[in-house]
Structure 1
Amino acid sequence: MTDAPTPLIQKGSGLQVVVGLGGSGLSAARYLCQEGYRVAVTDGHPAPPLASQLPEGIHTRCFGGIDADLLLQAARVVISPGISLETPAVRAAIDQGIPVVSDIQLFCDACRAPIVAITGSNAKSTVTTLVGQMAADAGINVGVGGNIGIPALELLGNEDMALAVLELSSFQLETVSNLNAQVACVLNMSPDHLDRHGDMLSYHQAKHRVFQGAKSVVVNRDDALTRPLIADNVPRLSIGTQAPDAGQYGLVIDADGQTHIARGTTRLISADELPIKGQHNLLNAEAALALGELAGIEIDSMLETLRQFEGLPHRCQYIASVDGIDYFNDSKGTNIGSTMAAIVGLGAVYAPKDGKLLVILGGQGKGQEFDELAPLINQYVSQVLCIGEDAAVIEQHLRRAQLGHDVEVHQCHDLARAFECIERVTKSSLSQVQAVLLSPACASFDQFSGYAARGDAFIDLVQALAD
């Protein structure tokens, strides 16, 4: 794909082929039908579960494989994020000059409301939800969707929508040109989906498409890979874990150790006032404030939302305290970057109390190298429990990265055996463990239907301990 503007296609002219019949594909097919286009659908599944919900006017339905001949007849292909651009049938269409776009491109071409566009390797859903809640609490008619919950095109049904807040994945962004967001942000960058993108450069390039045409941006000072190559006159705010410069967001620590989110020299809110915990969540709160400010949301209203926001399930979610040990479910931590953020965020909470974390890692590693985790584990963790398909690979990578001699690694196969191990090691009189963190740094499909099922299993095991 190139960065050239998407060719305008007149309504009703040319065949529109939707590839992939998940939630976004279904919404695209419905939208295109409503707009008067001639629509066909193809999917690799022989009987897609959502096929029964297609409009009756879609007569061409090619299932059981992506139909290459059908794509070559298209005036435009609308591809679902789960389908790679390197799929042979899709690549053949691209090579023939047929435009291949996502539902996000259709949305931004049709949307009349300002767009807040949020991407990044981690924390996208938390920040997107938080900005949406801030807007709603401020009395703004807001639509929240994209890679989170509601497909973006469904938001167009709200004709009075005054602000659209979108979570965008790299898969969605790689087929978007000139999103023209009111404010755009790459929250952070760490290796992820390299099995699809091929290398970090391609992943980075896909993420940074969010900045095309942006009217303002938010930048993470702690992560150089989030900084866009755009004109200096584009308004921007920055966030970070250090004290901020004038007019920017950051963290200020008082002499008594109290941490505050600040804008310049103005302390806005203390960490103790926030239901969400950990330094990474303070950074998420900063990002939401900066995005909201550039979208025109009033600051006092946003701060009140922060005081009420309890976070999302499976994202560093506090579950319970059992026998003096706190349990956190971060099953959504499916890559190394998200797990690093969770370890640092919670480790900084327990380290001043001379406490350590017990961390559960493992699942499908997606080709990642786990060496980067070792320094943080050495600093904040005393017990590592490895589960799942790549459990042995994780231990091998950690040890070659000079894992500390005082860090114990246990091979546990699955969560049930991990909890048997937790009971053993935490009952030791030498145990420093004050918190158990499930943040696997891996996908879950080796043992679960998804990260939510893995998180639910963890919660059930914690509750069984408490009973």
Structure 2
Amino acid sequence: MSQTSLRNLKTPIAVIGLGKSGNSALNLLKAAGFSNGDLLTYDDKDLTAQFCQAADLAAKNPQTLVVSPGVPLATPWIQKLIQSGAHLTSEITLTASLLTSEKVIGITGSVGKSTVTSILGAGAVADDENSFVGGNLGTPFCHYGLSILSGKTPAKWVVLELSSYQLENCAGLVLDFSAITFLSPNHLERYESLEQYYNTKLKITQMTKNICVVNQSSPDAVQFSKLASCPVKLVNAQHNLSDEQKQKIALIGQHNHDNFAVAQELGKVAGFKPASLEQMYHFKGLSHRLENVGVVNGVTYVNDSKATAMDSVLVATEGCLEKVSANHTLHLLLGGKDKNLPWEQLSILKDEKKIQPVFFGACGDLAKEKSKLNGPTFKSLNAALDYVLSVEKTGDVVLLSPGGTSLDEFKNFEDRGQFFTKKVIRFAK
């Protein structure tokens, strides 16, 4: 697909799902010349959409379906439209059609993909200020497509975080290099099995021209990379970083040293200049990922709202335990909305006397039952925080690393993290 073929998409075009991705795709299509009459919008939860009922949308006989990542492709009415001849595409594919000379690097994984994308992005921007860093990480790819249509200078580097949902529907995207960070059970409410989820992640190797860098510290990533469709290079901090390099990294934790090793190797094989590689050492971390919110009355507050996988929770807990001295407590906030996650994996924490779990939200009781961890349960994060703020003592650490998604109470994990941070700030006043 090229700019010409983008503009030649068959109408009517249905944009299905009006989150960040869908709205970005809608804006790109309008910029490409499609009129409001050419475009249909569907979202069963957004009243601004033209259609909230699938049958009403189907009656308009859409010829092109731009399906947002959060909408399962297996949805029966979507499959029926495809079988009737509708063309399936996505905001990733729409923008990929506009690429010319850019070098594209894609990063996926269950844990660590946002961090690796951001570390590498720091190097890419240092190498070329026009570089685009985004995808699943905050800024939809269509934002870059809009800049191309507006006549801006193409980027030398495009660095994309790609979720499994995006990898299901990104035909036409060609990657020069790619990475798989760390694989662990996640999104099992969407996939029939763990194997299907991992195989979806592995699709990134089918679109990679050169090499895929894999985190050697992830047993599942190493095992599944044996089935890769492109050459693979295994790296981690233990084998690829010197003690001097580790000391230079601004990020905290062994897992982040592994993330840095993956990003550094990507930068090297892609051909970043030495000064650009050096810039990667200065990346200090992302909001809502083990973010140190501050210290109030001797209590440290850590926002890890992004943690919606058990491996993420365990890594965050391990990192924060290092801050907790004897006779003090790590208050671990667990809960949110379940997505068929293996809470049982948290049972290894039950003998750690410095941890006090506090459960909250729609899956609080479920998380407590499956993890076999003892602690009070609350209906909301607000109530759980009120409790923690009433029992915490100087020297304690309060960690929001929920495991569950945010959608029982909040718009997204950012919204949840901001709520946590604002409540801590209000408490400090």
Query: Structures share a fold, TM > 0.5?
Result: yes
Who is 1:258 aligned against? Answer: none
Please list every run of 5 or more consecutive structure 1 residues that lacks an aligned counterpart in the other structure. Answer: 52-61, 250-261
Amino acid at match of 2:121: G
Q: Does structure 1 residue 127 correspond to structure 2 residue 123?
A: no
Mapping 1:19-58, distance limit 5 Å: 19-35=16-32, 39-45=38-44, 48-49=47-48
Alpha carbons 1:362, 1:440 under 8 Å: kept: yes
Q: Does structure 1 residue 109 correspond to structure 2 residue 97?
A: yes
Q: Does structure 1 residue 223 correspond to structure 2 residue 218?
A: yes
From 381, 384, 403, the equivalent of 1:418 is 384
From 275, 284, 291, the equivalent of 1:310 is 284
Amino acid at match of 1:19: I
Distance change >3 Å, CA 239–CA 351, structure 1 → 2? farther
From 184, 188, 207, the equivalent of 2:182 is 188
Q: Deviations over 1:178-218 (max 9, x none)?
A: 63211111212222222122322222222222111312111
Alpha carbons 1:17, 1:70 under 8 Å: kept: no
From 314, 319, 323, the equivalent of 1:345 is 319
| Equivalent residues, number | 413
Distance change >3 Å, CA 79–CA 45, structure 1 → 2? same
Offset, 1:287: 2.3
Secondary structure of the 1:31 match is: helix
Alpha carbons 1:45, 1:63 under 8 Å: kept: yes
Residues of 2 paired with 1:381 and 1:427: CA distance?
A: 13
From 56, 68, 74, the equivalent of 2:58 is 68
Secondary structure of the 1:385 match is: strand
From 169, 189, 207, the equivalent of 1:213 is 207
Who is 1:459 aligned against? Answer: 421
Residues of 1 paired with 2:45 and 2:163: CA distance?
A: 26
Residues of 1 paired with 2:23 and 2:385: CA distance?
A: 41
Q: Which stretch of the first structure deviates more once superposed, 33-42 or 98-107?
A: 33-42
Secondary structure of the 2:190 match is: helix
Who is 2:269 aligned against? Answer: 294
Distance change >3 Å, CA 114–CA 339, structure 1 → 2? same
Q: Which stretch of the first structure deviates more once superposed, 216-225 or 372-381?
A: 372-381
Alpha carbons 1:343, 1:376 under 8 Å: kept: no
Who is 2:253 aligned against? Answer: 278
Mapping 1:230-249, distance limit 5 Å: 230=228, 234=231, 236-240=232-236, 243-244=238-239, 249=240
From 385, 390, 393, the equivalent of 2:358 is 385
Offset, 1:10: 7.8
Who is 1:269 aligned against? Answer: 245
Distance change >3 Å, CA 179–CA 346, structure 1 → 2? farther
Offset, 1:111: 1.4
Who is 1:90 aligned against? Answer: 78
Offset, 1:219: 0.4
From 409, 414, 423, the equivalent of 1:447 is 409
Residues of 2 paired with 1:379 and 1:297: CA distance?
A: 44
Who is 2:130 aligned against? Answer: 141
Q: Which stretch of the first structure deviates more once superposed, 90-99 or 382-391?
A: 90-99
Residues of 1 paired with 2:331 and 2:243: CA distance?
A: 33
Distance change >3 Å, CA 22–CA 418, structure 1 → 2? closer
Residues of 2 paired with 1:322 and 1:371: CA distance?
A: 33
Distance change >3 Å, CA 92–CA 441, structure 1 → 2? same
Superposition CA RMSD, Å: 3.1
Which structure is higher in RCO with an 8 Å CA cutoff and minimum separation 6?
2
Residues of 2 paired with 1:283 and 1:355: CA distance?
A: 29
Residues of 2 paired with 1:45 and 1:412: CA distance?
A: 29
Q: Deviations over 1:79-118 (max 9, x none)?
A: 1112221222211023345442222122223312111111
Q: Deviations over 1:241-292 (max 9, x none)?
A: 5x21xxxx2xxxxxxxxxxxx1xxx445234x44432222222222221222
Residues of 1 paired with 2:424 and 2:72: CA distance?
A: 38
Q: Does structure 1 residue 326 correspond to structure 2 residue 300?
A: yes
Residues of 1 paired with 2:356 and 2:197: CA distance?
A: 32
Residues of 2 paired with 1:353 and 1:284: CA distance?
A: 30
Please list every run of 5 or more consecutive structure 2 residues that lacks an aligned counterpart in the other structure. Answer: none
Amino acid at match of 1:358: H
Fraction of identical pairs, as percent: 29
Alpha carbons 1:278, 1:346 under 8 Å: kept: no
Offset, 1:371: 0.6
Who is 2:68 aligned against? Answer: 80
Residues of 2 paired with 1:394 and 1:63: CA distance?
A: 36
Distance change >3 Å, CA 355–CA 305, structure 1 → 2? farther
Alpha carbons 1:343, 1:380 under 8 Å: kept: no
Amino acid at match of 2:20: G
Offset, 1:410: 2.4
Q: Deviations over 1:398-440 (max 9, x none)?
A: 22xxx5xxxx522244344434543565449xxxx64221100
Mapping 1:364-403, distance limit 5 Å: 364-376=337-349, 378-379=351-352, 381-399=354-372
Distance change >3 Å, CA 268–CA 90, structure 1 → 2? farther
Secondary structure of the 2:399 match is: strand
Secondary structure of the 1:440 match is: strand
Residues of 2 paired with 1:168 and 1:369: CA distance?
A: 23
